Structure 1
């Protein structure tokens, strides 16, 4: 699964935010099921940042979020993410997709 978290960060706060997002990424990367991740900043709008992570499955991602280290080192920064859906299934040729109805 793929998680895309976007952030709107004023330029004056970018130094502190970068330290926070790097710490958040490191905390997530240390969890079981983490596959890869990247921190990025938009080339046209430098106030727009992104953290993308890949996970073995949604359960690994959800367990990572509930771990003590992630709550301590990542959640304060992750809570600044734009309020939008962030978890995506990876669509590969021949794979069955999740049912396309909203979950309760």
Structure 2
């Protein structure tokens, strides 16, 4: 399952945001069911960021959110209020 949390980050806060993003991914990486994650920035809108993670299932992701809430708390004001959990319907690896 794929989790996407998007943020709107003012340029003046981007360096701190990246550090906090690392801390979130480091926390997630210790949780059961975590597969991989990345912090990404929009190439078209530099204030738009995404924290993208992959999990074995939605239950693992939801439990990890509880475990990471303290490290995620400082960034909550920057989060876009939208659904973040997506189930895989079709995947295909590249050549």
TM-score bracket relative to the smaller structure = 0.7 to 0.9
Determine which structure has more spread, i.e. the larger CA radius of gyration.
1
- Runs of 4+ aligned structure 1 residues displaced above 6 Å come to none
Give the structure-2-normalised TM-score.
0.86
Q: Give the equivalent residue in structure 2 for 1:16.
A: 16
Q: Does 1:46 align with 2:22?
A: no
Q: Cα offset for 1:79?
A: 5.4
More helix, by proportion: 2
1:73 corresponds to = 71
- Correspondence 1:30 to 2:27: no
Can you give the 5+ residue segments of structure 1 that lack an aligned partner in the other structure?
94-104
Measure, in 2, the Cα distance between the counterparts of 1:78 and 1:30. Answer: 21
Give RMSD over aligned pairs.
Answer: 1.5
- TM-score, structure 1 normalization: 0.79
